C-alpha cells in the first residue's frame, strides 16, 4: 500500500527539504545496491534464475544499460520487467501539470520551462508514484512513430496555436515515460521503420518530433522482451537497434522436475469447494511436471517455440478440477486425482504444444498420450522399484484382476486390497494417507506403472474404464 506523498508543494520547499535531484539510472543503481546490501531478492516469486538471469539483470542495472529479455514463451520475462518498478523511489517530484514528468530542477518541455521561468521557487510541485512511472506497450505491426514518439495535436491547432508552436505537440508513450521505465513486449513485431525511430532514444537519449526544431533529452530506461523464434517467423529486430541494447538477458525453462514443480505449486490456483478437500499426491505432482519436461525433449514437439511452464500449471489445475467433479458426484469429502484423470489433460495440453510436423504424422492427442505414458514410467521407476512391489506382481500372476475408471467411487478400489500383502501400506505411503480416495489414487498409479513396465496387460473400453490383468 502506497504511503502519502512527501510534503513539499513548491520548488522552493523542495530545495529547503534538501531533496537532491538524480538521474533515473542513479536512482535504480542506488536502490539496487541498497537491496543487495540488505540481502533482499531482486525479483519476488521468480524461481530458478538466481545463478543465471538475476546476476545478468543486476549487472545491467548497475551499468545503467537498457535491457532486452530474450527467451521462449512462459519464462517470466514480462513479470520480471514489471518488477523492476520496485527499484524506483516510491515518490518522484515533477513540475505540476507536466505531461512528461519534468524534473523541477531541470525541466525539458516548453510548458515546464516557461512555468519555472515565470514562477521560480513558487513553481507548483506534484508527486508521482513509482507505479505511474512504468509504461508497457505490446508491439504490433500497426504501432506507429506517432504512438511512440508523438505527433501534431489537431485539437491544439484548431484552438488557435501555430503549427510551429512546440505546445501543439501531442507526446507519444516514450516522452510520457520520461524519468521512468518503458517496456516493449514482443519487440520483433514492430515494423522496421518504427524500430528506426527508437535509435535516438537508445543512443542519444532524446527524441525529435516531426519537423519541429525541438529535441527532448529523455531520461528513460527502455526494456524489451522477445522470443528467439520471432526473428524468423514474424519479424526481426534490426541490427542497429539490437546493438543499442547493451544487455541481452537470456531466460530459460526450469532445468529440473523439482524446480518445475516448485513453480507450479507457487502459481497454480486449485478449485475451492465447500465440504471437499483437494489433495494432490506427490507422485501426481511430479508426474505433471515430468510431462512438460518430456515435451521439451520430444522430437514430436517444436522446441524452437518452447513448452511453457503455463502448460504445467494448467495441467495441474485441470487434474485437480477433474477430481473435484468426481468427488461431488460420488459424495466423497476428499478430491484426490488419479491416473485415469490424466485423460482430461488433452484439453489443457494440446493447445500449448506446437507439433514439429504440423500433425501430419501424429495427432496432438496421440502426442499427448505418449508424453503422459513416458512421464508416468519415469516417475514410477523413480518412486517404486520393482522389488518393493513384488507381492503385487505375484498376486496378478495368481489371477488377480482389477477394473478402474475415473468415475468409479474410491471405496470400490479397496475391495480385496488386504488380500495382497503390503499393498495397503505401499499405497498409503505413496498417497500420503490411508483415506479411500488417496488409496484409490495410489493403486491406480501402481497398476499403470506395472503396465508400462510390461508386467501387466491393460484393456481400455469405450466407456473409459481400464482392466488390468497378468500378461
The pLDDT assigned to 271 comes to: 87
Could you tell me the CA-to-CA distances from 141 to 23, 79, 302, 444 in Å, in that order? 33, 23, 25, 51
Which range in 278-282, 298-302, 347-351 is most confidently predicted, on average pLDDT? 278-282
**Is the model's pLDDT at 363 over the cut of 90?**
no
Containing 317, the helix (H) or strand (E) segment is: helix 309-330
User: Mind giving me the DSSP string for 242-272?
Assistant: HHH-SEEEEP---SSHHHHHHHHHHH-----
The pLDDT assigned to 232 comes to: 44
Section 226-232 average pLDDT = 66
Task: Band the pLDDT of 428: cuts 50, 70, 90.
Answer: confident
Distance CA 457, CA 471 (A): 5
Which range in 156-160, 229-233, 412-416 is most confidently predicted, on average pLDDT? 412-416
Domains and CATH numbers, the chain: 11-250 (3.40.50.300), 257-470 (no CATH)
Section 212-218 average pLDDT = 75
Section 47-61 average pLDDT = 96
**Is the model's pLDDT at 440 over the cut of 80?**
yes
Contact of 309 with 318, CB cutoff 8 Å: no
Section 346-353 average pLDDT = 88
The pLDDT assigned to 139 comes to: 93
**Is the model's pLDDT at 391 over the cut of 70?**
yes
Sign of the torsion angle spanned by Cα atoms 156, 161, 163, 166: negative
Task: Band the pLDDT of 437: cuts 50, 70, 90.
Answer: very high
Task: Band the pLDDT of 233: cuts 50, 70, 90.
Answer: very low
C-alpha cell at 180: 521512468
Torsion of CA 366, 367, 369, 373, to 10 degrees: 140
The pLDDT assigned to 107 comes to: 94
pLDDT in tens, 11-47: 999 999 999 889 999 999 999 999 999 999 999 999 9
Residue 428's Cα: distance from chain center in Å?
Answer: 35
How much is the pTM?
0.88
Section 43-68 average pLDDT = 96
pLDDT in tens, 299-315: 888 888 889 999 999 99
Contact of 383 with 314, CB cutoff 8 Å: no
Could you tell me the CA-to-CA distances from 153 to 93, 158, 271, 278, 334 in Å, in that order? 27, 9, 50, 57, 63
Least confident of 70-74, 231-235, 306-310, 415-419: 231-235
Section 355-369 average pLDDT = 77
For 67: left if phi > 0, alpha if psi spans -120 to 50, otherwise beta; the answer is beta
Angle 53-63/24-37 helices, nearest 10 degrees?
A: 130
Higher pLDDT, 207 or 16: 16
* DSSP for residue 354: -
* Burial class of residue 339 in the structure, from the number of CB atoms within 10 Å of its CB (0-12 exposed, 13-18 middle, 19+ buried): buried
As a residue count, the chain comes to: 471
Contact of 276 with 325, CB cutoff 8 Å: no
Section 99-106 average pLDDT = 94
pLDDT in tens, 395-415: 888 888 888 888 889 998 888
**Is the model's pLDDT at 465 over the cut of 80?**
no
Give the side-chain half-sphere CA count within 13 A for 231: 11
Distance CA 325, CA 329 (A): 6
Task: Band the pLDDT of 161: cuts 50, 70, 90.
Answer: low
Distance CA 103, CA 112 (A): 9
Alpha helices in 389-435 (DSSP H): 390-397, 423-431
Query: Which of 467, 433, 463 has its CA nearest to residue 447?
Result: 467
The pLDDT assigned to 460 comes to: 86
Amino acid at each position: 500500500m502506497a504511503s502519502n506523498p512527501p510534503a513539499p508543494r513548491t520548488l522552493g520547499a523542495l530545495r529547503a527539504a534538501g531533496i537532491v535531484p538524480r538521474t533515473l539510472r542513479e536512482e535504480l543503481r542506488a536502490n539496487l545496491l541498497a537491496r543487495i546490501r540488505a540481502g533482499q531478492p531482486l525479483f519476488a516469486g521468480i524461481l530458478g534464475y538466481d545463478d543465471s538471469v538475476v546476476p545478468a539483470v543486476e549487472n545491467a542495472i548497475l551499468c545503467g544499460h537498457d535491457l532486452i529479455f530474450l527467451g521462449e514463451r512462459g519464462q517470466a520475462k514480462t513479470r520480471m520487467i514489471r518488477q523492476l518498478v520496485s527499484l524506483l523511489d516510491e515518490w518522484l517530484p515533477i513540475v505540476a501539470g507536466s505531461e512528461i514528468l519534468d524534473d523541477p530542477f531541470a525541466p525539458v518541455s516548453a510548458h515546464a520551462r516557461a512555468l519555472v521561468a515565470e514562477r521560480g521557487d513558487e513553481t507548483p510541485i506534484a508527486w508521482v508514484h513509482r507505479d505511474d512511472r512504468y509504461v508497457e506497450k505490446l508491439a504490433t505491426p500497426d504501432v506507429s512513430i506517432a504512438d511512440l514518439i508523438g505527433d501534431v495535436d489537431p485539437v491544439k491547432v484548431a484552438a488557435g496555436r501555430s503549427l510551429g508552436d512546440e505546445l501543439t505537440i501531442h507526446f507519444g508513450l516514450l516522452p510520457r515515460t520520461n524519468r521512468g521505465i518503458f517496456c516493449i513486449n514482443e519487440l520483433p513485431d514492430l515494423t522496421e521503420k518504427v524500430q528506426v525511430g527508437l535509435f535516438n532514444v537508445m543512443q542519444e537519449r532524446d527524441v525529435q518530433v516531426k519537423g519541429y526544431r525541438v529535441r527532448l533529452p529523455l531520461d528513460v530506461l527502455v526494456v524489451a522482451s522477445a522470443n528467439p523464434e520471432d526473428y524468423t517467423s514474424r519479424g526481426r529486430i534490426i541490427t542497429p537497434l539490437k546493438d543499442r541494447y547493451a544487455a541481452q538477458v537470456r531466460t530459460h525453462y526450469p532445468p529440473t522436475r523439482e524446480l518445475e514443480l516448485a513453480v507450479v505449486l507457487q502459481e497454480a490456483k486449485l478449485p475451492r469447494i465447500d465440504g471437499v478437500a483437494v489433495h494432490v499426491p506427490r507422485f501426481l505432482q511430479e508426474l505433471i511436471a515430468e510431462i512438460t519436461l518430456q515435451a521439451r525433449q520430444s522430437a514430436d514437439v517444436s522446441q524452437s517455440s518452447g513448452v511453457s511452464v503455463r502448460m504445467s500449471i494448467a495441467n495441474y489445475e485441470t487434474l485437480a478440477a477433474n477430481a473435484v467433479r468426481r468427488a461431488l458426484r460420488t459424495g466423497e469429502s476428499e478430491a484426490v486425482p488419479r491416473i485415469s484423470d490424466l485423460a482430461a489433460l488433452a484439453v489443457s495440453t494440446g493447445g500449448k504444444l506446437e507439433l514439429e510436423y504440423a500433425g501430419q504424422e501424429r495427432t496432438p492427442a496421440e502426442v499427448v498420450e505418449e508424453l503422459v505414458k513416458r512421464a508416468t514410467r519415469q516417475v514410477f521407476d523413480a518412486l517404486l522399484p520393482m522389488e518393493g512391489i513384488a507381492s503385487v506382481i505375484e498376486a496378478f500372476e495368481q489371477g488377480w484382476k482389477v477394473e478402474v475408471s475415473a468415475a468409479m467411487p474410491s471405496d470400490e478400489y479397496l475391495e480385496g486390497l488386504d488380500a495382497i500383502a503390503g499393498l495397503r501400506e505401499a499405497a498409503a505411503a505413496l498417497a500420503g494417507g490411508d483415506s479411500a480416495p488417496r488409496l484409490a489414487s495410489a493403486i491406480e498409479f501402481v497398476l499403470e506403472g506395472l503396465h508400462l513396465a510390461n508386467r501387466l496387460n491393460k484393456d481400455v473400453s469405450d466407456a473409459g474404464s481400464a482392466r488390468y490383468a497378468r500378461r
